[in-house]
Amino acid sequence: MSGGIGPALAAVVQRDLRVALRRRADTFAALFFFVIVASLFPIGVGPEPALLARMGAGVVWVAALLASMLSLARLFNDDFHDGTLEQLLLSSVPLPLAVLAKTAAHWLSSGALLALVSPLLALQYGLSGDATLALLAGLLLGTPLLSLVGAIGAALTVGVRGGGVLLSLLVLPLYVPVLIFGAGAVDAVQAGLAVGGHYSLLGAMLAAGLFLAPWAAAVALRIAVE
Amino acid sequence: MPLADINWFYYAAPQRFHPLAGRLAPWFMAAAALLALAGLYIGFFVAPTDATQGEVYRVIFIHVPAAWMSMVVYLAMAFWAAVGLIFNARLASMLALALAPTGALMTFVALWTGALWGKPTWGAWWVWDARLTSELILLFLYIGYMSLHAAIEDTRRADRAAAVLAIVGAVNVPIIYFSVQWWNTLHQGASVSLTRAPSMATTMLTGMLLMALAAWAYCIAVALMRVRVLIVERERHAAWAQEALATP
């Protein structure tokens, strides 16, 4: 590759984003899934404002977990089937970095959008301004982690039959710490407690995830493709 | 015999490990039975009634060893899976796979007995306490490991992919262990500690330690038996495996 690693990685991000834009229906389906799941809960549990304000953050977070998983199955599978993945493995770009680039594109086309829509859902649940801000901040810190951990699961299930359901079985338990601290941040704000610790823990997990997850996903991809 | 003369990898060959596991398993099973008999006798007939919890506390003689083993077996599974992944050692991968169902069983027993204890003590079968929740997640991790292994046709690929998952999941085990300190919740603090005197009667402790040893012996015995089956299943085309099958 003539341009070196940086331009190659930028090309990977650009390509995945372009694919996400061209398949607008898929990208927005996940977004609408997020909104629909969050809207079903008040219908299921009743419209009392106090109850909804209490559970709003948790519901939005769980919906975000599920929605960010919808598009994970495609993260490597399409590339695996059309041979792009093999080219990526053979190229001179270090595979963990390429995985990181693909994960970044996945986050931009799923997690970031979910976070941006979340204030709308916070309105539906009657969250206060501070709580909405904590929800948005938590999602912005937490959803990249969902994409990173999800990339490991996606890499493990590349080309496996029944991969979609299996993927959720593998990945959802690993999402639990993110859920605890993400939803916990909003709870802390609502209870008038200090929220900094939650952000710090999410940020620490994100830092660790940025370093470790692409590496683990790269190992898993090599196992899958060899 | 000097250390350098020992062939550390002698038993790494499935062909050599198969008869060794066959010889060891009955001993561990017998040890498990004897220790469990002694532990249960002390637990149910010798240990005194607890001052605050009454007779209900006796479930700890099953619950605590099962909970310990659920975590120890996961670490052992992740360890052997990592050895299998890094050194491409077939036997280590088989051992990891053999440990998974036992670990899942121990996790389930810990959750089940915990529910039986929680109903009379806390007034609920289940509470969303951090430790209970982490134990439940541990069960999901075991199920994920076994499902991933089962979903991939090629055994070598299945071994290696599941190994990556086991190592990633191993991050969860310390979280379980330290969750008591991290989140201050309903679950009572650890009763046994290495740094201070135990907060329970000596006979209770004896019974629990005997049961813990029994659980260790049982897990080792069952893992050895299962690994024998896996070895024969995977090596069924080799002449020695045919012989081993013909002469039980």
Query: Structural domain of residue B187, as residue ranges?
Result: 37-45+57-235
The beta-carbon neighbor of B161 closest among A172, A177, A220 is A220
Q: Does B105 have pLDDT greater than 70?
A: yes
For the complex shown, is ipTM > 0.90? no
Q: Which of residues 206-225 of A touch B (CB under 8 A)?
A: 216, 219-220, 223-224
pLDDT the model gives residue B173: 63
Average pLDDT on B190-213 reads 72
Among the partner residues B143, B161, B175, nearest to A156 by beta-carbon distance: B161
| Residues of chain A contacting B164 with CB distance shorter than 8 Å | 152, 156, 216, 219-220, 223
- For residue A180, give Cα distances in angstroms to A173, A185, B151, B227, B228: 12, 9, 30, 38, 41
Q: From the list A176, A177, A223, which residue is nearest B157 (CB)?
A: A223
Contact status, residue B79 vs residue B144, Cβ threshold 8 Å: no
Average pLDDT over residues A14-22: 90
Residue B52 lies in a domain: no
Q: Does the pLDDT of residue A110 top 70, yes or no? A: yes
Residue B213 lies in a domain: yes
pLDDT in tens, B119-163: 887 788 887 776 777 788 889 999 999 999 999 988 889 999 999
Interface A–B counts its CB contacts (< 8 A) at 52
pLDDT in tens, B71-88: 899 999 999 999 999 988
The tokens of B166 are what?
A: 């086991």
User: Residue A39 sits in which domain range?
Assistant: 5-225
Q: How many domains does chain B have?
A: 1
Chain A residues with CB inside 8 Å of B157's CB? 223-224, 226
Taking residues B25-41, report their average pLDDT: 91
- B114 Cβ under 8 Å from any chain A Cβ: no
Domain presence at residue B108: yes
pTM of this structure: 0.86
Q: Given this model, what pLDDT does residue B89 score?
A: 86
Residue-level pLDDT at A47:
84
For A137-186, the pLDDT digits (tens) are 999 999 999 999 999 999 999 888 777 889 988 998 888 888 888 888 88
Instruction: Tell me what percent of the residues of chain B surpass a pLDDT of 70.
Output: 85
Domain presence at residue B141: yes
CB crowding B55-83: b at 16 or more within 10 Å, else e = eebbbbbbbbbbbbbbbbbbebbbbbbbb
Compare all CA atoms of chain B with the CA of A149 and give the residue at the minimum distance.
B168
Q: Does residue B82 form part of some domain?
A: yes
Secondary structure of chain B as H, E, C letters: CCHHHCCCCHHHCHHHHHHHHHHHHHHHHHHHHHHHHHHHHHHHHHCCCECCCEHHHHHHHHHHHHHHHHHHHHHHHHHHHHHHHHHCCHHHHHHHHHHHHHHHHHHHHHHHHHHHHHHHHHCCCCCCCHHHHHHHHHHHHHHHHHHHHHHCCCHHHHHHHHHHHHHHHHCHHHHHHHHHHHCCCCCCCCCCCCCCCCCCCHHHHHHHHHHHHHHHHHHHHHHHHHHHHHHHHHCCCCHHHHHHHHCC
Domain count, chain A: 1
Residue A160 to residue B165, Cβ atoms within 8 A? no
- Round the average pLDDT of chain B to a whole number and report it: 83
Kindly tell me if the per-residue pLDDT of B185 is higher than 50: no
What pLDDT sits at residue B181?
Answer: 47
